[in-house]
Chain A
Amino acid sequence: MASGHNLGTVISFEFWRTIKKPSFWIATLSFPLMFAVIFGIVYYSSKSSSDSSQKLAEERFSIEYKDDSGVVLPIVAEKLQAKTIDNKQTGIEKVKSGQLDAFFYYPGDLGKKNIEVYGKDSGLFDNGKYSAVAEQMLKTSASATIANPKLIAVTQGAVSSDVTTYKKNGEVSAGWMAAIPPLLFLVFFYFTIAMLGNNLLNSTVEEKENRVTEMILTTLNPTVLIVGKLIATFLAGLVQAAVMITPAVAAYFILGAEAINLPNADMLSRLVVDPTAMTIGALLMIGGLMLFTGTLVAVGAIMPTAKEAGQYFGIAILLMFIPFYIIMLILSNPETLVVQIFTFFPYTAPVTALLRNAFGSLSVSHAAIIISMLIVLGTIIILLAVRLFRYGAMQYDSRLSLKFLNAKKR
């Protein structure tokens, strides 16, 4: 009862302490801010380019052309008020002298030679209009010649394919649509450790740096303190996730999915949520969080200062990134020895197994082994962290030595 009360008190204190820190909000807001800036740039450039295209479409300029390919139809050229001439050099000279805005030369063998476009300089960006019109004249003419909508679609690349693949058991493989939902656990795992791991590490070192440990140890079970810190970190991670996705959600509802290149409702409905993969993903994430956060607390208990502890945080991040160096191997050939080692080595297991789970190459039996390993090892590391905290925090100015730990262990 008392422990429960104290756990709530610790969670509340540590949670508010974390989210009141300016560094928390700098880290949290930098992502949506960056998202907003990138979105703003994309939106602006997209709008500008659309405006420019419209302006170009409406703009009229004098054109002459010589067609040795025989593809360009006079009727198409006439619509653009383009006139044909017999001599290529004459066209070029007219452009040079300013009598003509643009001259296009279509060579006899379009498969081997490029269209030659000559134009009056209208600035770096506007000069693109000449080649756009030259190519459009050719495409429109070619399509009109084919006079078959299906063939036109093929020649213009407007054809896509629906792929259906089958697993070994004959079930239809859902591909990316099945991989995305379990991958969300990997994203949450990454963000929690990358953005809050350092905070967790520092909050443990802080007890020592502030000389507050003795007061704590005589009022509070250290296990309650450590578990409280871990839960508070998890909750702060949820706040961070909510803040980060809010701009995307707001933009989705205000501007629509297409405006911000997010999947629309139709695409979302095609996501395949496999309960087994999701359960395994959630358990792998929890096990991974237990192992990494427990390790960070243990490091915090050993190190005398936040600065020294920070170096070890870098190693934790590195271990999380290492599996991505062999991601192609993980996805294409998960049975190789290297992937197997990464799958079962505790500190690379969470990321590797989460990836393999998402892409369907992790068997349930292997997943069970890895989850058990992570949860058992995570629990042991957390218990060790509690012990290290109890004794390491009493060595205020130096690292915890094994000799000291042996002298004081219960």
Chain B
Amino acid sequence: MTTAATVIEINNFTMRFGDKTVIDDLSFDVKKGETFGFLGSNGSGKTTTMRALLGIYQPSAGELLINGKKFEPEDGKSLGYLPEERGLYKKESVIDVMTYFGQLKGLDKREAREWSLDYLKRVKLEDKAKSKVDKLSGGQQQKVQLGVTIMNDPDVLILDEPTKGFDPVNRRLLMDIIEAQRAKGATIVLITHDMSEVERLCNRLILLKDGNKAAYGTVPEVLAKFKKKNMDDVFLQVYGEDASMQEGEE
């Protein structure tokens, strides 16, 4: 039963592609206002779980709920999702793309445009507002995409590898933005391989291996269970040398 404090609830979730079971009877929840780490090696099923949670995939079995109900695109107005596969309309201008997504997320056109210009100024891209997206560097495009993700001031923020491709300066900027959203009370799911980020930011975490829960709890609880001093060591113990070998859809 969903309690008032539970924002994301996943019960007995199983996902099969043909004969292959990617996720097997997974259950966990994410509480309101917490930053939740979603960990696992490549191919462990993290992205698949998020896609099923967001209604992109239909689960083979189980129940995936946000605020007590199955996600519908209309609920996207209170949700921010930064997918692992980054992408924007490359031949359109930055400001047009941001305004478009702002409108889809429920802002009116003027509001979306003004917010976008403020954000671009904040991330030092104000001179790129009228540039085509494909004229921006990869890191600049990431910043724009992050802006699109948070522009509706979402209650739930799902960030899939948010720092991928960022240099240290931009990584810091991103962390500041995440902190700001957290301070506003947003619930954040952080899908990442960066264990230092997990230790620093996450209240609780889940570590997946072969579609199953290998660890689940607060960072201190997980460290205590594995008798390790840091999350890197936990990760290495769970995956061993397989961690760097696995590939494929997550």
Taking Cβ atoms with an 8 Å cutoff, the residues of A that contact B are 2-3, 5-6, 9-10, 13, 17, 21, 206, 210-215, 217-222, 390, 394, 396, 403-404, 407-410
Contacts and interface: CB of A to CB of B under 8 A. Distances in A.
A218 B73 contact: yes
Contacts of A211: 83, 85-87
B54 interface: yes
A210 B106 contact: no
Contacts, number: 83
B131 to A, nearest CB: 15
Contact of A217 (B73, B90, B105, B148): B73
Contacts of A218: 54-56, 71, 73, 76, 79, 81
B17 A219 contact: no
A206 B97 CA distance: 14
A409 B81 contact: no
**Majority secondary structure of chain B interface residues (helix, strand, loop or mixed):** loop
Nearest to B84: A214
Contacts of B72: 221
Given A218-B56, A219-B76, A404-B17, A9 B104 contact: yes
5 contacts: A6-B103, A6-B104, A217-B56, A404-B17, A407-B16
Nearest to A224: B73
B195 interface: no
A220 B18 contact: no
Interface residues of B, number: 35
Given A2-B106, A218-B76, A206 B89 contact: yes
Interface string B51-89: 100111110000000000001111011010101011111
B51 to A, nearest CB: 7
A210 B88 contact: yes
Contacts of A390: 56
A221 B100 contact: no
B101 interface: yes
Nearest to A206: B89
A210 B89 contact: yes
Interface of B: 16-18, 51, 54-58, 71-74, 76-77, 79, 81, 83, 85-92, 96, 100-101, 103-106, 145, 148
Given A9-B103, A410-B58, A221 B87 contact: no
Nearest to B86: A211
B250 to A, nearest CB: 13
| In the complex, the 5 A-B pairs of residues with the closest C-beta atoms, listed nearest first | A211-B87, A214-B83, A219-B76, A212-B87, A9-B103
B73 A220 contact: yes
A5 B105 CA distance: 10
A219 B105 contact: yes
Best-surrounded residue of A206, A220, A407 (most CB of chain B within 10 A): A407
Nearest to A16: B96
Contacts of A3: 74
Contacts of A217: 54-56, 73
B85 A221 contact: no
B76 A220 contact: yes
Contacts of B77: 2, 219
Given A214-B56, A215-B81, A407-B16, A220 B87 contact: no
A394 B87 CA distance: 12
Contacts of A407: 16-18
Nearest to A8: B103
Contacts of A13: 96, 100
A73 B145 CA distance: 92
A21 B55 CA distance: 33
A407 to B, nearest CB: 5
Nearest to A6: B104
Contacts of B74: 2-3, 221
Nearest to A10: B104
Contact of A219 (B16, B73, B91): B73
B104 A212 contact: no
Nearest to A396: B85
A394 B47 CA distance: 12
A408 to B, nearest CB: 5
A409 B16 CA distance: 12
Contacts of A9: 100, 103-104
B153 to A, nearest CB: 14
A305 to B, nearest CB: 14
A407 B249 CA distance: 14
A215 B101 contact: yes
Contacts of A212: 87-89
Contacts of B18: 403, 407
Best-surrounded residue of B54, B87, B88, B90 (most CB of chain A within 10 A): B87
A211 B104 CA distance: 17
A394 B50 CA distance: 13
B73 A210 contact: no
B101 A219 contact: yes
Contacts of B92: 17
A3 B101 CA distance: 14
A409 B51 CA distance: 13
Contacts of B58: 408-410
B87 A219 contact: no
Contacts of B56: 214, 217-218, 390, 394
B104 A210 contact: no
A306 to B, nearest CB: 12
Given A214-B54, A394-B56, 6 more contacts: A6-B104, A10-B104, A211-B86, A214-B56, A215-B81, A220-B104
Contacts of B106: 2, 5
Contact of B83 (A215, A408, A409): A215
A408 B59 CA distance: 8
